[in-house]
Amino acid sequence: MTCEGCKGFFRRAMKRNARLRCPFRKGTCEITRKTRRQCQACRLRKCLESGMKKEMIMSDAAVEQRRALIRKKKRDRIGTQSAGAKGLTEEQRTMIKELMDAQMKTFDTTFSHFKNFRLRGEDGSVWNYKPPAASSGKEIFSLLPHMADMSTYMFKGIINFAKVISHFRDLPIEDQISLLKGATFELCQLRFNTVFNAETGTWECGRLSYCLEDPAGGFQQLLLEPVLKFHYMLKKLQLHKEEYVLMQAISLFSPDRPGVVQRGMVDQLQERFAIALKDYIECNRPQPAHRAWVLPWKSLCTRTGAQRTRCDGSAGPSLLSPSVLPSWAQAEREA
């Protein structure tokens, strides 16, 4: 047995056909792992004594051929894994289609239906409104009514999204309310991420654009930084629409929400959506690097949920400031 270092040394020495001489003129240097670099001649002698043969060295052409074969086997292995990946079942395809239909019916990415909101710029148009350079309490307070209207609009869409899902309608009304209250903020962020521009750091909601400072009056300050980090991370992944809706379903059907009674049923539903997402990723994103994003997303959802629970111990959307909380009740009534 020989180490890889000596194999490489022997191959190089034989290829360049060099005449090596012992610098100590003994030819009997003791060669060990520590002293092998001190005398190349004695090292080569020991390689030959160990049974290494020049005839066994592969030519450059043979080495290249072997490397090509290794690359081919690697490509074939990846192709086999991709072909052998578990495809979506008919039930999963139906499930995803229902979610996509619910998303299209309840979420307009152009925000063309967001009307009759409060807030006007100097010229009377909200999309030309620019907050003053110096932030003040008055500015934030003036923005709150608009953020409340936007929250109501988003909450209403999320409630209607859930009502379209057949599995959600099958749950008791008490569990429906608990799940919605617990998942509203997470679903809002998933939907807002579809219109997030990572280059400018703004949310482009049709004719309206928002930067990080804009929601300061509607959200608790301690969550703004992790929320922005979440949007950058998620947008970088270039998710498919199907992945977005499956993530919304996984977040919606969380059995650990306060007040949920049928936890076993909700847990089974969440597992089915999670498996559907996993299978979708394996079918459409065969490279392992594309699969690692689920963990940080779920981790952040869990962390923000824990922060919400610590804030007030309730299942309500307490990530919002008290001034915006009435939007939830209003959206629930309108939906």
Looking at residue 228, the DSSP 8-state letter turns out to be H
Chain-centroid distance of CA 169 in Å reads 29
The least confident of 176-185, 306-315, 324-333 is: 306-315
The candidate with the shortest Cα–Cα distance to 176, out of 264, 259, 237, 73, is 259
d(CA 150, CA 155): 9
The phi, psi pair for 197, rounded to 5°, reads -105, 105
Domain boundary among 36, 57, 78: 57
Report the CATH number at residue 20: 3.30.50.10
55 or 308: which carries more pLDDT confidence? 55
Write out the two tokens for 257.
């929400």
Band (pLDDT 50/70/90 cuts) for residue 219 is low
Instruction: Tell me how crowded residue 116 is: count the other CB atoms within 10 A of its CB.
Output: 6
The phi, psi pair for 315, rounded to 5°, reads -95, 0
Q: What percent of the chain has pLDDT over 90?
A: 25
Any idea how long the chain is?
A: 335
- Does the pLDDT at position 139 exceed 60? no
3-state helix, strand, coil in the chain (%, to 5): 60, 5, 35
Report the CATH number at residue 253: 1.10.565.10
Q: Are 52 and 163 found together in one domain? A: no
Q: Are 234 and 142 found together in one domain? A: yes
d(CA 258, CA 316): 9
pLDDT of residue 128: 42
d(CA 248, CA 185): 11
Q: Report the Cα–Cα distance between both ends of the chain, in Å, rounded.
A: 76
pLDDT single digits (tens) 199-208: 888 888 877 7
- Does the pLDDT at position 212 exceed 70? no
CB-based burial, 67-81: b 16+ in 10 Å, e otherwise: eeeeeeeeeeeeeee
pLDDT single digits (tens) 26-37: 778 888 888 888
Domain range spanning residue 26? 1-57
d(CA 191, CA 234): 11
Q: Are 26 and 115 found together in one domain? A: no
Domain boundary among 42, 57, 72: 57
Strands (E), the chain: 196-197, 202-205, 208-210
Q: Are 188 and 255 found together in one domain? A: yes
Q: Are 41 and 119 found together in one domain? A: no
Q: Are 24 and 153 found together in one domain? A: no
d(CA 37, CA 47): 13
Q: Are 161 and 18 found together in one domain? A: no
Q: Are 150 and 222 found together in one domain? A: yes
Q: Are 19 and 114 found together in one domain? A: no
Q: Are 189 and 124 found together in one domain? A: yes
Write out the two tokens for 241.
């629409």
Band (pLDDT 50/70/90 cuts) for residue 126 is very low
What's the number of domains the chain is made of? Answer: 3
146 or 211: which carries more pLDDT confidence? 211
Q: Are 153 and 288 found together in one domain? A: yes
Band (pLDDT 50/70/90 cuts) for residue 264 is very high
pLDDT single digits (tens) 228-237: 888 888 888 8
Instruction: Tell me how crowded residue 231 is: count the other CB atoms within 10 A of its CB.
Output: 20
Q: Are 195 and 47 found together in one domain? A: no
What is the DSSP track for 22-44? Answer: -TTS-S-PPP-TTTTTT-HHHHH
